[in-house]
Amino acid sequence: MLRLRNDAAGLIGFCLLAVGCGAAPAEEGESIGVAEQGIIVMNGLDPDFFWRSSTQQGLRALAQAPLADALGGARGAVLLRTEQGRHLAERVVACALPAGAAVEEGTGRSFRGSIGLAPEWASAPLSDPASRRWVTACLLQSLNALSARVAVHLTGGHPALADAPDSEASEYTVRDAIMFGDLFDRARPTAFACADNSLIDDCGVALSAKTLERICGQSPTCRLTLLGRCDAVCTRDRAGAPTCRASGSGVYPESIASSLEPLVALSSGGLTCDVLGLLPGLL
């Protein structure tokens, strides 16, 4: 189970989380950790930095070598020269490598693995298309234009995303979004998202640009394609793992879905759809 943790408080924070916008700002040094039966990460990656052409080129360059070599050499320089880039490198390692693994870059800074969606990247280039897609989906789920700290349970068909028997996954009942793509494809990088938000279904609220804003921010170079409602482009297996498709791009078994706890959404927990009337223009 992957959990992106938040101690949000206040009605406005709850409402924003349900549409994927955000609440409290993420704090430095709290982005990666392990607790209980899940992996705890903060989804505070800055979309404006993430979608810059230089950042995307840097990500694709990392894939051309084993991760430690890439981050420790010229390929990683474009990312590691800024705090935003180091935060992204931290998230790349956390998504790709399992807990217990670590990558040390040239200055001695260490980045720790957490999830393990592409463990082979530790010793070889990220050349397998499936692994590239898993890491892409993980990075996309880490984006938040308001640098919010949001508790999210991630579901996917990769063994690294399986829930432990005594995990708290059953508490995350409000579907949020599904993301997929391949940002590491040098010829045709892709990124897709669809809205899977049961708040929208339950309250009859129309999907708006806020869903896109969470992932793209104000970036003029955002490459994300928003596909609308997930039930139109995705199916789920018995365990809830999604497989999605995008016209002209094929089928993606390497899709990752997110869901929220009821207390950070408006579909339950004593909060009603009527509250949406207090927040005109947010949805």
Which tens digits make up the pLDDT trace of 79-90?
A: 888 999 998 999
The pLDDT score that the predictor gives to residue 41 is 45
Q: Which two tokens stand for residue 197?
A: 């938000």
In this predicted structure, the answer to whether residue 20 has a pLDDT above a threshold of 50 is no
Contact 41, 32 (CB under 8 A): yes
Q: Which two tokens stand for residue 125?
A: 């280039």
Element (H, E) at 200: helix 198-203
The pLDDT score that the predictor gives to residue 195 is 85
- Worst-scoring range by mean pLDDT, 33-37, 186-190, 192-196? 33-37
Residue 170 burial (CB count, 10 A):
8
- Within its chain, how far is the Cα of 16 from the centroid? 17
pLDDT band at 116; cut points 50, 70, 90? very high
Contact 250, 133 (CB under 8 A): no
Contact 189, 246 (CB under 8 A): no
- Span 127-149, average pLDDT: 87
Q: How many helices (H) and strands (E) does the chain have?
A: 9, 13
Enumerate residues 6+ apart whose C-beta is below 8 A from 213: 21, 145
* pLDDT tens string 244-281: 999 999 999 999 998 877 655 443 333 444 444 443 33
Select the highest-mean-pLDDT range: 46-60, 115-129, 132-146, 172-186.
Answer: 115-129
CA torsion through residues 50, 5, 168, 11, sign: negative
